[in-house]
A and B are shown apart, each in its own frame.
Chain A
Amino acid sequence: MSDTLSLTAATAAARIRAGELDPAELWHGYRERAAADEHNAFVWVAPDGDAPAVDRDAPLAGVPVAVKDLFCTEGVPSQAGSRILEGYRPPYTATSVARLTGAGAPLLAKTNQDEFAMGSSTEHSAFGPTRNPWDIARVPGGSSGGSAAAVAAGSAPWAIGTDTGGSIRQPAALCGIVGLKPTYGAVSRYGMIAFASSLDQAGPLTRDVTDAALLFGAMAGQDPCDSTSIGLPAPVELPSRMDLRGVRIGVPDELTGEGIEPGVLASFERTLELVKELGATVEPVRLPHAPHALSAYYLIAPAEASSNLARYDGVRYGYRADGVRDLLEMYTKTRAEGFGAEVKRRIMLGTYALSSGYYDAYYGRAQKVRTLISGDFNAAWERFDFVATPTAPTVAFELGAKLEDPLAMYLNDFLAVPMSLAGIPGISIPSGLSEGLPVGFQLAGPAFSENALLDAAYALERAIDFRDAPWRKLA
């Protein structure tokens, strides 16, 4: 059994299709492992019982998937890590999840996350923090930390998460797995519990790049229920590239120096040498406005969140406070008791940034900085195919290390938010270890360059040959 659980999802799917692996055996193996998980990676695991019927010839061939809590799943708790949605079972399923089940991947579990995806450590969950499988004293990153920990530990073959300002890429980096944030609009947001609507994008967290391509291909596509979804210009192809000959990679000074741990930088530099050995050219590129991306992000995302989270009012679903005198008190007490500290902080920050007298200086200005950041990337694409940076400035940090210092927690996102603001795709792959913990290497490309990005990441993954992830020890 454990041999089966050490297969990548794509390999397991191929074996099922070839009649060499029983999908029911795979289902039960993962269900039992998820139910016994000791990292608090899951907030719901499919009940024991018969394995779901699967179509061996479907693209995902019956390999089960774990899904971040904030995706609505009909009849299954969907709480976005928040007390205000505790026990909420939605009447419909998110398009991205419906596409995965339609492609033959049954729902294995819902994964823990920072409340409403606001956080970089999964400590801001109403259901307790998730532990990093590499070291349980450390965080898995966030906000999709449950998905990352589940995949790293081998408690799920693969998972999906959401990335607003790094929430797929950073936990993938801190857990030593692959995470892809697609181009904004590639995947439908319908049924994703909203954080910041102009930035939120769903994507895969997987054991390797091939799994990421397979899962991404199944979830992407235009959706009539999401007017901002576009789909992809061409179908997602499984990556096959063996070298990087002719590929031009830009390394921005602004995102490869100050504020990054020496061990992370050392791994990044070693990986750039591999990139060159594979035949790519590596040259400096300027992204002059990137140092301001974090500020712009922490105005735009909280502003959108303060508006999105106005819907939690105790009227139609979710938590309602008891013993209130009138309607206004019902709103204020429901929200005071239902939201956690970080969510309150973001709502306050966003409301302030949008309030009369401050709008132009904060939100309006942040939107202009967003234009400048997109412009920096567009200029880079005239000379480069991709931009490379470390994914996160640190390896996984200890639980509690940044919990009392919100700004320190926010700064952990500074290498991920420029791509989010520009709406472009970014992938994190494990590049090695620092202090015994995984380091992520981020490649970002122009909008809708996912096929080329996955291909380049695949060639690099082969060259790095990262073999330390916990899931491999299941073999």
Chain B
Amino acid sequence: MLSRDQVLHVARLARLELTEEEQQRMSVELSHVLDHIERIGELGDLADVEPTSHVVAVENALRADEPRPCLPKEVALAAAPDVDMGGFRVPSPGPAPA
């Protein structure tokens, strides 16, 4: 069972704000799913098995290192919620930690 503290810790890592109700539900639902997922423990020791991160054997895919046009700045900024001085504007990160 995932505790409320664990849920809050993971939510912080994921940059997600959860309501009280969501914290409660997440704790129950994730525990339920993890109970099922933990059956991969039944496979025993897998020390000799190589992990697969990518199924297709692709060597480095390289292209010629030549300058090419990229998105014009005004196009790249067009969908931004807040733009100022040719850049993305965001709220202050807040006071530096003590």
Chain A residues in the interface with B (C-beta under 8 A): 88-92, 183-185, 198, 224, 227-228, 230, 289, 292, 294-296, 298-299, 306, 310, 313-320, 324-333, 335-336, 339, 344-345, 347-349, 351-352, 355, 361-362, 364-372, 374, 406-407, 410, 421-423, 447
Task: Please judge, given known A-B contacts A224-B63, A325-B94, A406-B32, whether A313 and B55 are in contact too, CB under 8 Å.
Answer: no
Chain B residues in the interface with A (C-beta under 8 A): 2, 6-7, 9-11, 13-19, 22, 26, 29-30, 32-34, 36-43, 46, 49-56, 58, 61, 63, 71, 75-76, 78-82, 88, 90-94
Which 8 pairs show the lowest CB-CB distances between chains A and B? A423-B55, A367-B51, A326-B94, A320-B81, A227-B61, A317-B79, A332-B17, A336-B17
Q: Which one, B10, B42, B56, contacts A184 given CB within 8 A?
A: B56
Give the distance in Å from the alpha carbon of A386 to the alpha carbon of B17 in the complex: 47
Q: Which one, A88, A228, A320, A355, contacts B54 given CB within 8 A?
A: A228
Give the distance in Å from the alpha carbon of A108 to the alpha carbon of B14 in the complex: 37
Q: Judge whether A295 and B91 touch: CB under 8 Å.
A: no
Q: Judge whether A351 and B13 touch: CB under 8 Å.
A: yes
Give the distance in Å from the alpha carbon of A338 to the alpha carbon of B68 in the complex: 34
Q: Which of B6, B16, B58 has the most CB of A within 10 A?
A: B16
Task: Please judge, given known A-B contacts A328-B93, A371-B52, A374-B55, whether A295 and B81 are in contact too, CB under 8 Å.
Answer: no
Task: Please judge, given known A-B contacts A185-B58, A332-B16, whether A370 and B79 are in contact too, CB under 8 Å.
Answer: no
Q: Which one, B17, B26, B53, contacts A348 given CB within 8 A?
A: B26
**Residues of A contacting B32 with CB < 8 Å?**
406-407
Give the distance in Å from the alpha carbon of A367 to the alpha carbon of B46 in the complex: 11
Q: Judge whether A348 and B10 touch: CB under 8 Å.
A: yes
Q: Judge whether B16 and A365 touch: CB under 8 Å.
A: no
Q: Judge whether A410 and B33 touch: CB under 8 Å.
A: yes
Task: Please judge, given known A-B contacts A317-B79, A368-B46, whether A298 and B33 are in contact too, CB under 8 Å.
Answer: yes
Task: Please judge, given known A-B contacts A292-B39, A368-B49, whether A330 and B91 are in contact too, CB under 8 Å.
Answer: yes
**Residues of B contacting A355 with CB < 8 Å?**
9-10, 13
Task: Please judge, given known A-B contacts A316-B80, A318-B79, whether A362 and B55 are in contact too, CB under 8 Å.
Answer: no
Task: Please judge, given known A-B contacts A230-B56, A295-B40, A299-B37, whether A315 and B90 are in contact too, CB under 8 Å.
Answer: yes
Taking the closest CB of chain B, its distance from the CB of A88, in whole angstroms, is 6
Give the distance in Å from the alpha carbon of A447 to the alpha carbon of B9 in the complex: 40
Taking the closest CB of chain A, its distance from the CB of B26, in whole angstroms, is 6
**Residues of A contacting B9 with CB < 8 Å?**
355
**Residues of B contacting A365 with CB < 8 Å?**
40-41, 46
Q: Which one, A292, A351, A422, contacts B40 given CB within 8 A?
A: A292
Q: Judge whether A344 and B91 touch: CB under 8 Å.
A: no
Q: Judge whether B76 and A335 touch: CB under 8 Å.
A: no
Give the distance in Å from the alpha carbon of A324 to the alpha carbon of B9 in the complex: 21
**Residues of B contacting A371 with CB < 8 Å?**
49-52
Q: Which one, B33, B55, B76, B78, contacts A198 given CB within 8 A?
A: B55
Taking the closest CB of chain B, its distance from the CB of A270, in whole angstroms, is 31
Q: Judge whether B56 and A313 touch: CB under 8 Å.
A: no
29 sampled A-B residue pairs with Cβ under 8 A: A88-B79, A91-B71, A185-B58, A228-B61, A294-B36, A298-B37, A310-B15, A316-B76, A316-B80, A317-B80, A320-B81, A325-B94, A326-B93, A326-B94, A327-B91, A328-B15, A328-B94, A330-B90, A330-B91, A332-B15, A335-B14, A348-B30, A349-B30, A355-B13, A369-B46, A406-B29, A407-B32, A407-B36, A410-B33
Q: Which of A295, A315, A316, A372 has the most CB of B within 10 A?
A: A295
Give the distance in Å from the alpha carbon of A88 to the alpha carbon of B78 in the complex: 10
Taking the closest CB of chain B, its distance from the CB of A342, in whole angstroms, is 10
Q: Judge whether A327 and B93 touch: CB under 8 Å.
A: yes
Give the distance in Å from the alpha carbon of A317 to the alpha carbon of B38 in the complex: 37
Q: Which of A289, A319, A347 has the most CB of B within 10 A?
A: A347
Tell me the nearest residue of chain B to A229, going by C-beta.
B61
Q: Judge whether A198 and B53 touch: CB under 8 Å.
A: yes
Q: Which of B36, B37, B92 has the most CB of A within 10 A?
A: B37
**Residues of B contacting A421 with CB < 8 Å?**
55
Taking the closest CB of chain B, its distance from the CB of A110, in whole angstroms, is 17
**Residues of B contacting A366 with CB < 8 Å?**
40
**Residues of B contacting A310 with CB < 8 Å?**
15
Task: Please judge, given known A-B contacts A292-B40, A355-B10, A369-B43, whether A228 and B56 are in contact too, CB under 8 Å.
Answer: yes
**Residues of A contacting B40 with CB < 8 Å?**
292, 295-296, 299, 365-366, 369
Q: Judge whether B55 and A326 touch: CB under 8 Å.
A: no
Q: Judge whether A198 and B79 touch: CB under 8 Å.
A: no
Tell me the nearest residue of chain B to A294, going by C-beta.
B36
Q: Judge whether A295 and B93 touch: CB under 8 Å.
A: no
Give the distance in Å from the alpha carbon of A72 to the alpha carbon of B93 in the complex: 31
Q: Which of B22, B78, B79 has the most CB of A within 10 A?
A: B79
**Residues of A contacting B38 with CB < 8 Å?**
295
Q: Which of B29, B50, B52, B53 has the most CB of A within 10 A?
A: B52
Q: Supply 12 further A-B pairs (C-beta < 8 A) apart from A349-B33, A370-B52, A407-B33.
A: A89-B79, A91-B75, A92-B71, A198-B53, A228-B56, A230-B58, A292-B40, A316-B80, A325-B91, A348-B7, A406-B32, A406-B33
